[in-house]
Amino acid sequence: MSNSIIKSDVIILGAGINGSGIARELALSGRKVTVIDKATIGSGTSSKSSRLIHGGLRYLETMQFKLVHEALHDRQELLQIYPDLVKMKSFYIPIYKPSPRPAWMIRIGLKFYDLLSGRNRQHHSRIIPRKNFSIHAASFKTDGLKAVFHYYDAKTNDLKLTQKVARDAIDSGASFYENCSVHSIINNELNFVIQAKNAIFEAPILINATGPWIDEVNEKYSLPANYKIRKISGIHITLDGLLTQDLMFMQTKKKRIFFVIPEQENNQTIIGTTEREETDKIDEISINESDINYLIENINQYLKPGFKILRQNVKDSWIGVRPLIAEAENPTNLSREYELDLLKFGEATLLHIFGGKLTTYLSLARKVKQALYKKNGKAT
Ligand SMILES: Cc1cc2nc3c(=O)[nH]c(=O)nc-3n(C[C@H](O)[C@H](O)[C@H](O)COP(=O)(O)OP(=O)(O)OC[C@H]3O[C@@H](n4cnc5c(N)ncnc54)[C@H](O)[C@@H]3O)c2cc1C
Is residue 243 domain-resident?
A: yes
Is residue 174 domain-resident?
A: yes
Tell me the C-alpha distance between 205 and 55, whole Å. Answer: 31
Looking at the structure, tell me whether residues 234 and 220 fall in a common domain. Answer: no
Looking at the structure, tell me whether residues 234 and 291 fall in a common domain. Answer: yes
**What is the β-pairing status of strands 10-13 and 33-36?**
parallel
Last residue of a domain, one of 325, 344, 362: 325
Tell me the C-alpha distance between 83 and 88, whole Å. Answer: 9
Looking at the structure, tell me whether residues 235 and 319 fall in a common domain. Answer: yes
Looking at the structure, tell me whether residues 222 and 233 fall in a common domain. Answer: no
Instruction: Determine what percent of the chain is predicted with pLDDT higher than 70.
Output: 95
Ligand 1 atom closest to the Cα of residue 43 is 49
Ligand 1 center–CA 122 separation, angstroms: 32
Is residue 207 domain-resident?
A: yes
Tell me the C-alpha distance between 247 and 223, whole Å. Answer: 42
Does ligand 1 have an atom closer than 6 angstroms to the CB of 211? yes
Ligand 1 center–CA 287 separation, angstroms: 17
Is residue 97 domain-resident?
A: no
CA distances in angstroms from 47 to 57, 217, 283, listed in the order given = 22, 20, 15
Summarize the confidence of residues 165-176 as an average pLDDT: 98
Looking at the structure, tell me whether residues 249 and 311 fall in a common domain. Answer: yes
Query: pLDDT at position 75, please?
Result: 96
Give residue-wise pLDDT tens across range 235-264: 999 999 999 999 999 999 899 999 999 999
Q: Which residue has the least CA distance to atom 32 on ligand 1? A: 210
Looking at the structure, tell me whether residues 206 and 176 fall in a common domain. Answer: yes
3-27 burial code (b ≥16 CB/10 A, e <16): eeebebbbbbbbbbbbbbbbbbbbb
Is residue 205 domain-resident?
A: yes
Looking at the structure, tell me whether residues 174 and 250 fall in a common domain. Answer: no
* Domain with 292 in it: 229-325
For residue 378, name the pLDDT band (cuts at 50, 70, 90): low
Q: What CATH number did the domain enclosing 192 receive? A: 3.50.50.60
Summarize the confidence of residues 271-295 as an average pLDDT: 97
Tell me the C-alpha distance between 115 and 95, whole Å. Answer: 22
pTM for the whole thing?
A: 0.95
Tell me the C-alpha distance between 184 and 196, whole Å. Answer: 7
Looking at the structure, tell me whether residues 368 and 238 fall in a common domain. Answer: no
Does ligand 1 have an atom closer than 6 angstroms to the CB of 278? no
Is residue 132 domain-resident?
A: no
Residue 200 buriedness (CB in 10 A; 0-12 / 13-18 / 19+): middle
Tell me the C-alpha distance between 191 and 312, whole Å. Answer: 54
Does ligand 1 have an atom closer than 6 angstroms to the CB of 321? yes
Looking at the structure, tell me whether residues 224 and 259 fall in a common domain. Answer: no
Choose among 47, 280, 324: nearest CA to 162: 47
Query: pLDDT at position 48, please?
Result: 98
Q: Which residue has the least CA distance to atom 26 on ligand 1? A: 211
Does ligand 1 have an atom closer than 6 angstroms to the CB of 320? yes
Summarize the confidence of residues 363-377 as an average pLDDT: 88
Dihedral sign, Cα of residue 49, residue 54, residue 57, residue 62: positive
Q: Are 231 and 277 in contact (CB under 8 A)?
A: yes
Ligand 1 center–CA 205 separation, angstroms: 21
Candidates 46, 291, 362: which one to mutate for ligand 1, based on the most atoms within 8 Å of Cβ? Answer: 46
Ligand 1 atom closest to the Cα of residue 319 is 1
Looking at the structure, tell me whether residues 182 and 319 fall in a common domain. Answer: no
Query: What rounded mean pLDDT belongs to the chain?
Result: 94
Looking at the structure, tell me whether residues 313 and 367 fall in a common domain. Answer: no
Ligand 1 center–CA 29 separation, angstroms: 24
Q: Are 219 and 52 in contact (CB under 8 A)?
A: no
Give residue-wise pLDDT tens across range 101-159: 999 999 999 999 999 987 677 789 999 999 999 988 999 999 999 999 999 999 999 99
What is the number of structural domains in the chain? 2
Is residue 208 domain-resident?
A: yes
pLDDT(209) > 80: yes
Looking at the structure, tell me whether residues 254 and 300 fall in a common domain. Answer: yes
Task: Give the distance between the most distant pair of CA atoms in the chain.
Answer: 69
Is residue 65 domain-resident?
A: no
Summarize the confidence of residues 18-36 as an average pLDDT: 98
Q: In degrees rounded to 5, what are phi and psi of residue 197?
A: -55, 115
For residue 1, name the pLDDT band (cuts at 50, 70, 90): very low
Q: Are 204 and 9 in contact (CB under 8 A)?
A: yes
Candidates 210, 216, 231, 353: which one to mutate for ligand 1, based on the most atoms within 8 Å of Cβ? Answer: 210
For residue 59, name the pLDDT band (cuts at 50, 70, 90): confident
Query: pLDDT at position 118, please?
Result: 79
Q: What CATH number did the domain enclosing 318 receive? A: 3.30.9.10
